[in-house]
Structure 1
């Protein structure tokens, strides 16, 4: 299909026409038809669109457009299609769910991407020629922002590795600049004053006459003058002696400057507030306090302190061992305390409370025979679970089989449970340990043992 014929003076029907910018129609004395068509053109429009929307007919509309073109009201226009804006690049790290706000995320990401192309001065943000104090201060300021320990206890996700990489680069830059500052400059060699001629003086060398010059191919014999020989001999020290060299006195130490002391104290205080140093100081303080608590027998406090340290530093094996030891000593001490509390409650007639204390002591220290025996004894008197009572009595006998009361209680529990053969064995142990034990002997006498 062929394209529509172009309109001479305007262009192709699919071309665009536009109203001249800042046009004042009142100055052109436009007719009503011209005003109507100009309104259809608007700012810019395709010719075929104007023709289709006009009510004047195509031929008349073309004539009006040509008239407007002649009056300078409209001009051909070229419209460049706007490309769709590129979709924004979404950084996956920015959408990661971590305990950082968007500004912190962007700062960390941008610095990590640029830090490899930066020199040591740019990394720390100091000018070239910065002093050691300026480098140290810049490193301290950067550490406060990018040290991983600043975000201790927070969910950092992939940003933890980014922070560690940034902090390592900061540390490398600080170390390199500090070493460069401390490296002494190599002094230039200085000639000895004796070897230099006096300022402004030149050696006077008289020209040698032709008669004084030796023949070609021979060497002149130069004899030192007597005066010069005597002076040289006088200047040399005697053979076997050395010239006395006076040592340069050391400079007197500068008096203590109160302002310098104050600045040093301020730097130390700032360093102590550094997140890494504060954490290290906290760990040291907790460990020392825990050790002191163990020494004075406060095992509960020691356990709390060591447990706190292990939460801050899970890989500390020494503290893990101290925590286990503190827990063991704490449980032993607490078990003994519960036994004593149970005895007091039993004296007041609170047998249920006493048994609870005894059972708690057994759970804290399974190797306490007295706690197991007392819990079994009161449980038997209160008609509690026979299986639990038997297990407690059995545990007491296993831990200390030489106690008569332990053997007797277990024998009585077994007898009630109908286990006569096992009960007989423990009654015999009672009599063996105490031949005059009346209750044990009576039990053996009354029982009729059946063996199968």
Structure 2
């Protein structure tokens, strides 16, 4: 019988109490598995979190069980008779009619009612999209809900308790969005809906979507409050033994850690990737230059990821008509990624169209054109900036350049025609 037949994917691996890891012969791969255990993670999600092949991960888990380091807990399935009704509903029906949002106390009552049922509806119902909805449709639904339930929309207008209620709702809306715009996560979520119902699926997926470290049950593992730090220290102690092994063995184990780090980077688990690379440096100091270069690359990738978050927040604020706020988010994105033309153009566009900051918008567009002079939209928007500044001739020149690049640019045609009539 192979490993996949022995171990249930629904089991929860738990580290046995009183285990002295120092005295055990633990491989780097087994140490990596142990570093992921938090008392709540199931085997199926442990496999996903490590990026290992299923058979390889199960073999490592089986080895840890045989060594007496971990046990496998089989949780009893929850009885949820009401949720079976939810599974039968294949077409998604919008939970809220966004066209009829009440105000004042009526809105408070709506939020209260929504909090009572939000755990009993699936993500498709929450966003009002079908299971076959395109990514574009999901994004549009998310932005519509952001206009209504984003807590910052009511800054200083609501009491702290009501703000927390809004934050709870928006957090769930945001999680729903993250799951449904990702093809793999959406498929996994639909699978969990079929297997466990609405509440079960939410519980199963929250680990990988929120990326949060769960406290889990207290197992007297010596992890204390700072669990992540304790795990890292534990792994460092294990790898002290490896330093005395032959050079070739050190190199192979370090490269395995490097490969694991690259897998984590693909999943945007930057913290885990850093930990693996730092351990690789400890195991094989000769490869320090290579591993440090990857650490620097990860820093850049994480910054780019943060910039994209700011940009998406700016889009949401812009969709909600909050242009000053959108401009602030775009500005934060540009601070992190000052060469990104997408961020710069969106900032210039909102400054010229909505904030009347024609001079600042003009400066941004000139910077874009210096790097790429083949975009008709840049010249059109620059023409609008000059128009706002009252420079008619300069405006005409930019509209003409836009039409040279795109003769069918309707907005440029319209503006140029209006200027020549004036």
Q: Which has the higher helix share?
A: 2
Instruction: Give the TM-score normalised by structure 2.
Output: 0.34
Instruction: Give the TM-score normalised by structure 1.
Output: 0.32
Which of the pair has more CA radius of gyration? 1
